[in-house]
Structure 1
Amino acid sequence: MPSRPPLTPTALYVGLWLTLAGTAQAQALQEVVVSANRQEQKTFDAPAAVQAVGQDVIGVAGPRVNLSESLNRVPGITVLNRQNYAQDLQLSIRGSGSRSPFGIRGARLIVDGIPATMPDGQGQASTISLPSAGRIEVLRGPLAQLYGNSSAGVVQVFTADGPARPEVLGSLDAGSDGLQRRGLQAAGQQGSLNYLVDLSDFRTDGWRQNSAAERRHLNARLRTEVSDQTRLTVVANVFDQPVSGDPLGLTRAQLATNPRQADIRSTEYQAGKDVSQRQIGLVLDHRLDGSSELMARAYAGQRDLESRLSIPLMFQQAPTAAGGIVELDREYSGTGLRYSRRTPLGEGQLSYSIGLDLERLSERRRGFINNFGVRGELKRDEDDSVQSTGVYAQADWAINEDWSAVAGLRANRVAFKVEDFYIRPGNPDDSGRARFSATNPVIGLTRHLGPDRNLYVNVGRGFETPTFTEIAYRVGGSGPNLDLKAARSTHVEFGYKARLTPAQRLDVALFHIGTSDEIVVAASSGGRTIYTNAGKTRRSGIEIAHSARWAAEWQTHLAFSTLNARFAEAFSSGGGALVSKGNRLPGTLDRQLFAELAWKPETLPGISAALEVVHLGRMAVDDLNTDRTEAATVFHLRLGWEQTLGAWTLKSYLRVDNLADKAYVGSVIANEGNRRFFEPAPGRQWGLGVSAAYRF
């Protein structure tokens, strides 16, 4: 008898679809409102690849600590939990940002209208409060360029509205490796004031050695209707992470011996990071008349960071070395103004917006010797600043019932300045400036094939400056690398959206991105990374999202993506080796899949269960493609319970992740100089969460 081929996750989902298709009933899916074009609209009507996850998904996806818990169900975005809270998640959209060993790169982060991405283009996902999030949107493709210095997408997080009746909620999450998260939240509506205040305390011993972490978080949003025409929103956020160890990556041999170990230098030099941040923002929305609106925002914040790197002591003492402890004292602020108007045009309606964004960041950067965890002598002392100015215009024209169009233009100016105070024999004055500018157009056309079918195409130019993290070091010298160029890209996207039935939704997007002067890792070692510009790169792929409610009790969701990310021309790597044309960009998954089967039995009110399948493709570890990870498929199971008893609402969930206890690599550190590329994923993990809300 011939052997049967293995059952892949895609085949499993297709088989399930065919099995349930015969019993599908008209249970309409809930539509989600998004703001892809800076105006609220339904996801089906947005002429772009955009998906959103709501509070119901965020609440059962895990302890609500990391974006990786819930965004794996969105195609086109990769969010890898590195099991390393010192270095944040590894988030990339359509392959952009996969090179980043620290923080979020290649995507804009926005929380309640306030940027969480700094004007140099780097953001921090750790400061996002997930327990208070109402929904998370992910926009990919050319329209993302209208948000500024980015590359391939925008992630927006919106704090939930307080309920009509005030409530107090307490929550507790526990899990493997000493994971604990305790939360307290007050939310409600008092007259014209809507409020939500959330306190959260998180800690974990970590799955690997030297990966323990602690976080404390306060997030508050107050919104008041000043008048029938004016609404004011105040957003305040305080974040403190006093403990986060960095276990570093592992070599192939270390991975095989013990994936839970930390490299010896990690413990020798007490590698890790301490960070705190305070931020406040104001957003004013004013309706001028029935057709026009004005939005103004202003925000300011302060961020302090100390990072301990595992650089051998002998290398730290070189005259041009910057030491092994990095201390950053950062202040940032920004303002924004947007005017929007709707007016009849021809058979349809024209909606347009014009706006201005001004952002500034200044930081005091100092470097010290890391004498096996003890701060030593000063090795770097400078003031850094960056200013970003963006002017944009966007128009959406509903031409008629069959056609609509979108067009936009954004002019960006980004200026970096470094003032060096550490001038010694062998370490010259490294003060300098760098300026970048670009004017990026976007244009798109949508063909409405009917009320339930949309076909669209978008084309746009992209602009991505280096960040201060990327210009921080240069090969063979002291001071910053101000010679790095900005990456420039052209994005083309074709999309199709269909409501197959009232209970089924299908989204398909095909894209191609061509980039020149791609910023790549030249060398990475001991937590310090040096960057350079490669030649041209090409990224292309397909993204599919399918959601269906087959009956009152059964629902499925599929998110599938492919990515072909390659160097389009040969270039010399940081080590002098020739990187061949056609090599894969390191850190990019060639494919990924999320599939879910959810069950809510009518005979057991309040009970829910779901089986999740996650498939991760392969990743190259360096530009030379000398090694790569293996593809992995893991299964997760969750159970939920919800009950209302008078004024009380009780909820609980139980999750078991990686049911089969599969060993695999969760992420890689691209071009790590000591070949410590691999960051292993944990084996079987359990998590339990309970909450109780009292409504007054």
Structure 2
Amino acid sequence: MPVPVSFLCCLFRSDTMFHTAHVSRPVYGVTMLVAVLSATPAPAATRGVATTPLRRHPVLSVSKIRKSSARTEQILVTGANRASALAHPAGQTTYRSDRQDFGNQIGQSAADMVVTIPGVSFTQGNGPRDTNISIRGSGDRQSWGLKNIQVLEDGFPMTQPDGTARADLIDPHAYQGVDVFEGPASTLYGNYAMNGALNFRTRKGADIHGLEVGSDFGSFGMFNTYATLGFGNRQYDLMLFGSDVRGNGFIANSRYNTSTENVRLRVTLTPSDRLVLKFVNNVTDTFLPVRLSLNQYYANPYQQGCSDATTAAAGCASVNLLVNGRYGAKEAMSAEAAGLGRFDRRTLVGLRWEHDVNSRTTWRNQFTYDQRHVDQPTSPTAFVGPYNSYNVSSDVTNHTRLAGRALETFAGVSFDYLDFGYQTYNIMPRGGATRGAMSSESYGHQWNLGARFQEDWHFAPDWHIVLGLGGTYSDIGATQTLYSYAATANTQRGITANRFYFNLAPEGALIYTPSRDWTLHTRVGTAYGTPSSSNLFITPQGQYGNNTLLKSQTSVGIDLGAEWHPSSTINVQATGFYEFYKNELVSQSAGVNTVGAYTFNAPASEHRGVVLGMEWKVLPKRLPGGRIKLSYTYDNQVYTRYTEVLSNTTLARDFSRKGRYIPGVIPNFLNARFLYDQPDGPLEGLGGYAEVTWRESYWLDNANRLKAPGYALLNLDVHYDPPARFGWAHRLHWYFEVQNVANQTYIASAANLTDTLRPNGQQAGAATLMNSTGSIYAGSPRAYFGGVRVKF
């Protein structure tokens, strides 16, 4: 997927936590950067800026020193390498989290990197690091992976052409930060960018400048050993990272061992040419417990006493396995006795060439190969097979002037291709996920051909306008063969899907900066997402079969936002959004003894809400190291047109879901951190925080009969990062934290449930749905973690 290497960035006070891309004041934003990069003289408001030749420093960062008397600012321009930067779409609500926000804590998964970002939530997926990250609820309707967003790392695509991305390969120790682009974003990011995009940024070798070795350890047998090697200068920058983490888990059958390698190399070939090489490899070896019903969760949230038999303790979950692996009698077994788990590998290699055609124009060409090989006995069947994908993109960014004002133009094309071939096998009750007969096999492909275009024109000193258009043509071709067995005969049935989709995504944004304390923006964005091939072969009963008539989902979203930063002690950003969806793709589980979640199109739905972020130095003179960080999201998602058909053995009935809340979506969530880091004196480098995380209860079914309960957690952290003046002691860093201090029992993940029809033709109520399995994972009880890191 092409990613524009524009020079848009937000410039605001260096102590702020939030990062937006819609600032345009000449001495305070993008206009200044474009003027610096342009070969023509800058406007009067930007003259006096110290400039650096573009060919040597293609991306610029700006620091500001405030002058109180004249209310002016001095601008210091320094160089950085464009390979490590990702364009921030102008006018789109953007936040970021940097290493200072997550580098002094346990760092078990991507959740630790995004927990403080407004508009972002997360739930537990299928495995220790399979975090389901949501932007404005993008993945709340799913039970695994990163859905309805595009994911990148250092500008390389981490989402495969079928929209699949997973967080297993993310070890926070390897990263400098993450950028979050919120709202419909298909104009620039193409297919599946329904709610935005994520770009994870690895650490620079020049910043590491040596070798770092560390270990994290704590409750439930968790032990993570990692090392980072980095060197760099103007000619090259190299970062190598490796980690191995293992643990027993806090739920029965959740022990794991995950290893990750991550490499990024930037080489400057000439003053106008740069190469960036990217390599990521991850092996996920984790056993997997069965998702519970709500009643099972209340009885036995951690599935204790369920390892050998399903009836040994109340609340134990089980899977029903064919005794002979083909047909006939079944035997109920616990997940541990059956050997359920995920044993997957993901390998990605990418290469990018960046060429400065002249001082105003940059051309980029990028290729990425990405293989995902899965071996997942996660239900009564085992899912096995490779997914090979290839991504090629080329784009051009040009800076010029129109009517005497700065104009930036971006244009790009991309092509990605996925081929796959997988088989599913019945699991037999012999332990170790023993395979029986093949139950299905599928082969196919998906490719997407896309083009992007965007203009960003600063038509007045305090204004700029953004117009863009993107489009993608998608081709999905797949066949599935279903096998059935009996004592007298074996049969097979074939299903074919040949689907073609064409989607367009226009966008427009207007940004106004009336003063350096205020930035206002409004944006109309659009997005689209085609079904993936796996969606086409799961029936409403959760079994393999024909679901090939799914349509693309599309959305139109309106954002209205403001950023206020009156002083160096407070920064506030708020955005209201209203998004209209057509044919929204929603998934729901039919139970634990099914092969997958059923996906359907909701003809019309609406998402509306508010995202708020704040950072405040409450007492800058008395407590100069004290801060409060607050992120809050209100997310209201409802069906406006959808009729669901429920059936039993004797009849079927239609039920309108108009006005019902979309299940799985958390309506209110809040994160508040109260931090203190000693800035000077003998205790310089000592700090800590108290964190409160609150999630409101949310619906689990389309009829809104059953809710997953909300929760509030308290976490505590203390850390020490000695200053450089302490000599050798500066090389040693340590931390200690307590998670879930009050030892709350809470739901970390809940898959949507399918409503059922009673024999009398009425919908089943909450009492029935509370026995529906395949939904819930409990969150961690109180846990203690510590860690040390040494630099050589």
TM-score where L is the length of structure 2: 0.79
Match of 1:630 among 704, 709, 713: 709
The answer to whether structure 1 residue 328 and structure 2 residue 407 are counterparts is: no
What is the Cα deviation at residue 268 of structure 1?
Answer: 4.4
The answer to whether structure 1 residue 657 and structure 2 residue 739 are counterparts is: yes
What is the Cα deviation at residue 70 of structure 1?
Answer: 2.5
What is the Cα deviation at residue 642 of structure 1?
Answer: 1.3
Structure 2 equivalent of residue 684 of structure 1 = 782
The answer to whether structure 1 residue 586 and structure 2 residue 668 are counterparts is: no
Q: Which moved more, 1:517-526 or 1:213-222?
A: 517-526
- The separation in 1 between residues aligned to 2:179 and 2:497, in whole angstroms, is 38
* Shift in alpha-carbon separation, 1:423–1:325, aligned structure 2, 3 A: closer
- Secondary structure at the aligned position of 2:559 is classed as strand
What is the Cα deviation at residue 253 of structure 1?
Answer: 2.0
Match of 1:264 among 318, 321, 329: 318
Query: CA offsets, 1:189-232, max 9 Å, x none?
Result: 26722101001001121111111111000000011111111111
Query: CA offsets, 1:655-691, max 9 Å, x none?
Result: 1111111222222111168613332212211111110
- Secondary structure at the aligned position of 1:390 is classed as strand
Structure 2 equivalent of residue 140 of structure 1 = 182
* Shift in alpha-carbon separation, 1:480–1:61, aligned structure 2, 3 A: farther
Structure 2 equivalent of residue 158 of structure 1 = 201
Structure 1 equivalent of residue 350 of structure 2 = 281
Q: Report the residue type matching 1:263 in the other structure.
A: A
The answer to whether structure 1 residue 528 and structure 2 residue 581 are counterparts is: no
What is the Cα deviation at residue 98 of structure 1?
Answer: 1.6
Structure 2 equivalent of residue 403 of structure 1 = 463
Match of 1:612 among 691, 703, 709: 691
Q: Which moved more, 1:271-280 or 1:424-433?
A: 424-433
- The separation in 2 between residues aligned to 1:386 and 1:36, in whole angstroms, is 35
Match of 1:472 among 537, 545, 556: 537
Structure 2 equivalent of residue 53 of structure 1 = 97
Contact 1:35 1:41 in 2 (8 A): no
Q: Report the residue type matching 1:404 in the other structure.
A: H
Match of 1:339 among 396, 403, 420: 396
Counterparts of 1:110-259 in structure 2, within 5 Å, are 110-143=152-185, 145-149=187-191, 150-163=193-206, 166-189=209-232, 192-242=235-285, 244-259=286-301
Structure 1 equivalent of residue 643 of structure 2 = 571
Structure 1 equivalent of residue 367 of structure 2 = 298
The answer to whether structure 1 residue 499 and structure 2 residue 565 are counterparts is: yes
- Secondary structure at the aligned position of 2:708 is classed as coil
Query: CA offsets, 1:134-167, max 9 Å, x none?
Result: 1101110134542011211101101111126731
What is the Cα deviation at residue 46 of structure 1?
Answer: 4.6
- The separation in 2 between residues aligned to 1:570 and 1:133, in whole angstroms, is 42
The answer to whether structure 1 residue 436 and structure 2 residue 479 are counterparts is: no
- Secondary structure at the aligned position of 2:102 is classed as helix
What is the Cα deviation at residue 92 of structure 1?
Answer: 1.9
Contact 2:589 2:751 in 1 (8 A): no
The answer to whether structure 1 residue 394 and structure 2 residue 454 are counterparts is: yes
Contact 1:524 1:671 in 2 (8 A): yes
Query: CA offsets, 1:380-413, max 9 Å, x none?
Result: 2231210011101011111112211111100111
Contact 2:206 2:233 in 1 (8 A): no
Q: Report the residue type matching 2:466 in the other structure.
A: V
* Shift in alpha-carbon separation, 1:360–1:395, aligned structure 2, 3 A: same
- The separation in 1 between residues aligned to 2:750 and 2:121, in whole angstroms, is 13
* Shift in alpha-carbon separation, 1:359–1:171, aligned structure 2, 3 A: same
Larger Rg belongs to: 2
- The separation in 2 between residues aligned to 1:102 and 1:77, in whole angstroms, is 16
Query: CA offsets, 1:495-542, max 9 Å, x none?
Result: 101212123211110001111111122543335112111221111000
The answer to whether structure 1 residue 668 and structure 2 residue 750 are counterparts is: yes
Match of 1:559 among 631, 655, 659: 631
Structure 1 runs not aligned, ≥5 long: 1-25, 312-323
* Shift in alpha-carbon separation, 1:165–1:501, aligned structure 2, 3 A: closer
Structure 2 runs not aligned, ≥5 long: 1-11, 24-29, 31-58, 63-86, 304-315, 320-334, 485-489, 648-652, 756-770
- Secondary structure at the aligned position of 1:297 is classed as strand
- The separation in 1 between residues aligned to 2:520 and 2:209, in whole angstroms, is 43
Q: Report the residue type matching 2:141 in the other structure.
A: R
Contact 2:184 2:555 in 1 (8 A): no
Number of equivalent positions: 654
* Shift in alpha-carbon separation, 1:672–1:72, aligned structure 2, 3 A: farther
Contact 2:113 2:172 in 1 (8 A): no
Query: CA offsets, 1:41-67, max 9 Å, x none?
Result: 8999952211111112221242x2311
Counterparts of 1:4-153 in structure 2, within 5 Å, are 29-30=15-16, 46-62=90-106, 64-82=107-125, 84-85=126-127, 88-143=130-185, 145-149=187-191, 150-153=193-196
- Secondary structure at the aligned position of 2:437 is classed as strand
- The separation in 2 between residues aligned to 1:421 and 1:547, in whole angstroms, is 55
Structure 2 equivalent of residue 23 of structure 1 = none
- Secondary structure at the aligned position of 2:220 is classed as helix
Structure 2 equivalent of residue 12 of structure 1 = none
Contact 2:22 2:511 in 1 (8 A): no
Match of 2:525 among 457, 460, 470: 460
- The separation in 2 between residues aligned to 1:450 and 1:533, in whole angstroms, is 45
The answer to whether structure 1 residue 481 and structure 2 residue 570 are counterparts is: no
- Secondary structure at the aligned position of 2:534 is classed as helix
Q: Report the residue type matching 1:267 in the other structure.
A: E
Contact 1:33 1:40 in 2 (8 A): no
- The separation in 2 between residues aligned to 1:116 and 1:141, in whole angstroms, is 19
The answer to whether structure 1 residue 362 and structure 2 residue 419 are counterparts is: yes
Query: CA offsets, 1:63-88, max 9 Å, x none?
Result: x2311112121111111235x41792
Query: CA offsets, 1:633-652, max 9 Å, x none?
Result: 21111101012454661111
Structure 2 equivalent of residue 385 of structure 1 = 445
* Shift in alpha-carbon separation, 1:45–1:336, aligned structure 2, 3 A: closer
RMSD: 2.5
What is the Cα deviation at residue 623 of structure 1?
Answer: 1.2
- The separation in 2 between residues aligned to 1:573 and 1:690, in whole angstroms, is 56
The answer to whether structure 1 residue 307 and structure 2 residue 307 are counterparts is: no
Structure 2 equivalent of residue 4 of structure 1 = none
TM-score where L is the length of structure 1: 0.89
Structure 2 equivalent of residue 599 of structure 1 = 676
- The separation in 2 between residues aligned to 1:70 and 1:236, in whole angstroms, is 21
What is the Cα deviation at residue 629 of structure 1?
Answer: 2.1
- The separation in 2 between residues aligned to 1:285 and 1:646, in whole angstroms, is 40
Contact 1:224 1:232 in 2 (8 A): yes
Contact 2:387 2:420 in 1 (8 A): yes
* Shift in alpha-carbon separation, 1:574–1:276, aligned structure 2, 3 A: farther
Contact 1:206 1:213 in 2 (8 A): yes
- Secondary structure at the aligned position of 1:70 is classed as helix
Q: Report the residue type matching 1:600 in the other structure.
A: D
- The separation in 2 between residues aligned to 1:475 and 1:597, in whole angstroms, is 46
* Shift in alpha-carbon separation, 1:389–1:672, aligned structure 2, 3 A: same
Contact 2:19 2:95 in 1 (8 A): no
- Secondary structure at the aligned position of 1:484 is classed as coil
Contact 2:16 2:615 in 1 (8 A): no
